[in-house]
Structure 1
Amino acid sequence: MNMFIILMVAVAAVSGSKDQIVNLANGDPKIMLGLFNMFQYEYGKEYAPSERRLRLANFRQFVKDAARYNEEDEDVTYGITMFADLTEAEAENMRGFNATGMNDDDDVYEQAEVNPKFNLGANHQSRYGPAKNQANTNACWAFAATAVLEGHTSIKNRRYTALSEQEVADCTSGSTVARGGMHNKALEAVRRTGHLATSASYPFTYRDGYSCNTRHQNALPFRITGVYKVNGDNGLAAALSAGPVAVGMGFDRQLSAYRGGVYSNRSCMSVQNHAVTAVGYTSSYWIVRNSYGTGWGERGHVRFTRSYQNMCHISSYSFYIRTQSNGEVE
């Protein structure tokens, strides 16, 4: 029988979950190789003959690490993700929160009282649309900011509209797709221009070098009246009652293999290197949207425990906005 078919049968036999097959592959080289071939097929990976050995070695170590994480953490499932064949340096290039100088900006931002007009809680984050995919760029900061603006647009219009990360990137001074940036500066840039096009009219090109372009039709049904910094976990919960929040967080190797569950490993608290968007919460966990597409985590989301304060730095450098509908009188 073809190894691909054997693997598919094995996957179905292990609790119906392909994530659990990492434990089998850990002890069987043939299953490991077959799993690598499946990974290539699923993610559309193609390698030159000289590169394949390196990618297989990276993949083998990633699978072994995922199997170990499954043994150590019964509350979370770990498995194969788009990071499986990457070196750590390559993976780090997809975590583009550039925190250089962020403390210099702290005194600029007020920690305003939030007026909770909407109580979306844990079950309504789907109103904000699907998790997008930044691909192999450092543009997480632009995607995090855009997701906040998409959420507020959905609240105002009662329908989802995909907005332009490329315009955000082009109009944010000092931040780039290649080198990274800061989500608060992206929100400030949109506040200044008062403009953001749809992603259909101004698509993401994965490149830098464009000038700020606001010639496309403005898709924002509001203007931003202020960008504010979250004040701790309680402030994050309050801000989420009014809309999504752009979050700077620590994203480590273990999170790269996350497939589902409530994450509570505090090792991610050692560094802030990634920008994401908090979209909801319960009494037990935060719901955070990533920008690695719907194939990572829980359809692009991760749940962080609320048992620890500031889990993964989730409330250290996080920002929300206040808006005023276009045409409203102040």
Structure 2
Amino acid sequence: MRFIVLGLVCFSVLAASADQDLRQTFKDWKVTFDKIYGGGLRNELARFRQFKKSAQTIEYINSIQSDWVAGFTLFADMTDEEKAAFTGINKNDTALESNLEIDPSPLDPTNPEKQYWDMGPAKNQWACGSCWAFAAIGAIEGMHLKEHGEFRDFSEQTLLDCTFEDIGRDGCNGGWSDTAISFAGSESPISKSNDYGYLPLRKDNPYKGNDRECTELKTPHSNGLRRAKPYAHLARYRTRNDAGLQHALATEGPVVVYIYSSWALPFYTTGTYRGTGCGTNPTTNHAVVAAGYEKDYWYVKNSWGSLWGYSGYVYFSRGWENLCSISSSRKTIEWRPNENWEICTDTHPSERTPCDSSANLNQEVCQARGCCYDSNYAGTAAQCFIKGKVTIYDDEGKRRVLYASAEEFSQFEFSYYGKAAQVEIGSWKLFVEDDYYGDYKIIKPEDGKVTFDFQSVQILN
């Protein structure tokens, strides 16, 4: 009996120690994800109990496979119902073309072995079923960058408020990305132009995480989508399978895909996700953007924030056909450029350079296209500006691309995202004087031309 009692005591001590370690993990995790709970101690304990359940789930996932690593993500204190609010596809099977092939077929030999499309930073839809709006915006941003060399941070809130306004749908209860793309482009009730669609920039209509009245039908914001009119297509190729998705990515650009987000995906941190919990051809519930591929995986942009996965991205395995239904319900974008776009008048107001028309000076296009300036001015008066493109690589060689202005770069936490960084010429932003921000310098010599000088650096955590 003594040995039994001693064994129980030892077990209790070990359990208490493990519980204490988990409490410290919970404390550190709350700081990382800026979790502050209302409701006093009762709610704090309830969240810790859920965190403890997530710890068991994470341990289980990591025990049954080694291809990817589950960890304490932003979902670690959430119930299943709360996690479900971070999806939001209302799937409409009748919208799919029933005669499209869904069985595996050979890859097109003309497609490159790998393809990546530069994208903007991953954003967070929060507890609003607006993944459909974020996927639509992500694909439009990627296409705008591909076609025009400019990254534009478009507003998800506009799509959330306005896409389903006529039928009274609460956008946080779900929707469809192709409908959202059509609202912004081919069927825009706001632009009413044959040349371009309508979307404001995010800074003009920031994301609020809830559905609101579409006031833009009466009072639109300044239009950031004047360079093109996007058209959504259910599938421009006759295969709703991996071969068709690869061909779309190889030839078109970033593609909206509807996937099944299983109980395991929210805990993804690193590695190649192999569909834990997906089963075979499950019904889709979440919209994301396929932004590229290599032989073994799809490169996918999610809408759960930059602290999830690889800075908001996940690598989906290509080891199984149509993993988590990623290939069977995709939406490509036909990008029709505005042939009448004027560089000095159709850029967003915040990016235009004012010229002194009263002085009768000549207005010319900047070398870094995207704004105009008065060529008769020199020095600081030659107001042509620039944004930069940062490509960051982590320890495993995975990359993350960010487009931002100098001010935004100065706030960027390089140490969190990766070990090494490199800047290339990207899009454009107003800037007046020489300035240093972190590890790079913007130089504007006497001729008024802007160059971007950056030293590759080793970022230390």
- Is residue 300 from structure 1 mapped to residue 312 from structure 2 by the alignment? yes
1:141-180 per-position Cα deviation (integer Å, ceiling 9, x unaligned): 1000100100011112213111111111222125533211
- Kept in 2, the 8 Å contact 1:25–1:31? The answer is no
- Report SS of the residue matched to 1:268: coil
Q: Return the alpha-carbon distance in structure 1 between the equivalents of residues 15 and 176 of structure 2.
A: 39
Distance 1:320 1:313 in 2: 16
1:188 to 174, 182, 192: 182
- The offset of 1:238, in angstroms, is 1.4
**For 1:309 and 1:60, how far apart are their aligned partners in 2?**
34
Cα offsets for 1:244-265 (capped at 9, x unmatched):
1111111112111100111113
Given that 1:227 and 1:321 are in contact with CA atoms closer than 8 Å, whether structure 2 keeps it comes out as yes
Equivalent residue number for residue 5 of structure 1: none
Q: Which residue of 1 aligns with 2:294?
A: 282
**Residues 36-95 of structure 1: per-residue CA shift (max 9 Å, x gap):** 111111112122211112111110110111122112111111111000000111111111
Gaps of 5+ in 2: 1-13, 102-110, 189-196, 342-461
**Paired residue for 1:210, among 213, 216, 221?**
213
Structure 1 residue corresponding to 2:35, chosen from 45, 56, 60? 45
In structure 2, distance between residues paired with 1:73 and 1:322: 39
Q: Which one of 117, 124, 132 corresponds to residue 133 of structure 1? A: 124
Structure 2 counterparts to residues 59-208 of structure 1, below 5 A = 59-99=51-91, 102-107=92-97, 121-122=114-115, 124-125=116-117, 127-173=118-164, 174=167, 175-190=169-184, 191-193=186-188, 194-208=197-211
CA offsets 1:278-302 (integer angstroms, 9 cap, x no match): 1000111101110011110111111
Aligned pair partner of 2:322 in 310, 313, 323: 310
Segments of structure 1 that go 5 or more residues without pairing to the other structure are 1-23, 112-117
Q: Percent identity?
A: 30
- In structure 2, distance between residues paired with 1:287 and 1:276: 11
- What's the TM-score once normalised by structure 1's chain length? 0.83
Corresponding position: 1:54 with 2:63 = no
* Amino acid corresponding to residue 219 of structure 1 in structure 2: G
Q: How far 1:266 sits from its partner (Å)?
A: 5.1
Q: Secondary structure at the match of 1:303?
A: strand
Residue 226 and residue 252 in structure 1: after superposition, are their counterparts in 2 closer, same or farther (change >3 A)?
Answer: closer
TM-score by length of 2: 0.60
CA-to-aligned-CA distance 1:111-170 (integer Å, 9 cap, x gap): 9xxxxxx97944x44x21111111121111100010010001111221311111111122
Counterpart amino acid of residue 238 in structure 1: H
Residue 114 of structure 1 aligns with which residue? none
Distance 2:305 2:296 in 1: 25
Task: Give 1:258's aligned residue.
Answer: 268
- Following the alignment from structure 1 to structure 2, what is the Cα–Cα distance between the partners of residues 262 and 219? 36
Cα distance between partner residues in 2 of 1:313 and 1:109 = 17
* 2:89 alignment partner AA: F
- Does the alignment pair 1:219 with 2:224? yes
Range 236-245 or range 212-221, more displaced: 212-221
In structure 1, C-alpha distance between the alignment counterparts of 2:302 and 2:231, rounded to whole Å: 26
**Higher helix proportion:** 1
Cα separation, partners in 2 of 1:110 and 1:172, compared to 1, 3 Å: farther
Shift of 1:25: 10
For the Cα contact (< 8 Å) 2:135–2:256, is it kept in 1?
yes
Seen in structure 2, the aligned counterparts of structure 1 residues 282 and 41 have a Cα distance that, compared at 3 Å, is same
Considering Cα pairs closer than 8 Å and 6+ residues apart, tell me whether 1 or 2 has the greater RCO.
Answer: 1
> Could you give the per-residue CA deviations for residues 153-210 of structure 1, whole angstroms, max 9, x where no partner exists?
1112213111111111222125533211111211122221121111111211222131
